[in-house]
A and B are shown apart, each in its own frame.
Chain A
Amino acid sequence: EAGVTQFPSHSVIEKGQTVTLRCDPISGHDNLYWYRRVMGKEIKFLLHFVKESKQDESGMPNNRFLAERTGGTYSTLKVQPAELEDSGVYFCASSQARTSKPREQYFGPGTRLTVT
């Protein structure tokens, strides 16, 4: 079974540019999460999809971040325009439906975003 995959593994962009990160969850996982780790700080929750619907987006920093999950499969996270403070590692995780306990989250390798 393929794990959670993320693309790209690393992205370097200039301030003001746009970047789109992609996450492919494990097949059949309804729940998809985005997290971010800024250097030296905690991994912070950004948002949570259940299938194609946003269940919780309370962690999204501002309206420069837009997440979508087309058809309940893969998800994209767009940052537009990027700012220096957006630099960090963006993790995606997926888990099975609610009926499965304890709903372990499986993580992707992360995308390292560097904004210069």
Chain B
Amino acid sequence: AQTVTQSQPEMSVQEAETVTLSCTYDTSESDYYLFWYKQPPSRQMILVIRQEAYKQQNATENRFSVNFQKAAKSFSLKISDSQLGDAAMYFCAYRSNNSGYSTLTFGKGTMLLVSP
């Protein structure tokens, strides 16, 4: 079974600074997706960024980028030029690509606090 570990229950960053959220995972599969989801307070969870395991290039979405280290099974999220609106719970998630109907396996989440 796959597991996802987020070792940082909470992180703090100041506006305009950069922060990195950690995520490690365990799997015996070679074909899978990794995701970072963001859940602002009292709002729904939205997808921030997605990485396909067979792609060596790290995914980027504007101020969000990942550092995907497949051999180390590490998938960290870097947020550059942090904004107040980035404050949220961030979940790292794994999904196998080996079956047609695969579910997500999540970590416990990291609460990101952003101060002015």
| A contact residues vs B (CB 8 Å cutoff) | 3-4, 31, 33, 35, 40-45, 48, 50, 55-56, 59, 91, 93, 98, 102, 104-105, 107-110
- Given contacts A35-B106, A110-B45, list 10 more A-B pairs with CB under 8 A: A4-B44, A42-B106, A42-B109, A43-B109, A45-B105, A48-B103, A102-B52, A104-B47, A105-B104, A109-B43
| B contact residues vs A (CB 8 Å cutoff) | 4, 33, 37, 42-47, 50, 52, 91, 100-101, 103-109
CB distance from A104 to the nearest CB of B (A): 6
Contacts of B37 in A (CB 8 A): 107
The answer to whether A107 and B101 touch across the interface, beta carbons within 8 angstroms, is: no
Contacts of B109 in A (CB 8 A): 42-43
The answer to whether B46 and A33 touch across the interface, beta carbons within 8 angstroms, is: no
CA distance A110 to B89 in the complex (A): 14
What number of residue pairs across chains A and B have CB atoms under 8 A from each other? Answer: 50
- Identify 10 residue pairs between A and B in the complex whose beta-carbon atoms are under 8 Å apart, listed by A's number: A35-B104, A42-B4, A42-B107, A55-B101, A91-B45, A102-B50, A105-B104, A107-B37, A109-B42, A109-B43
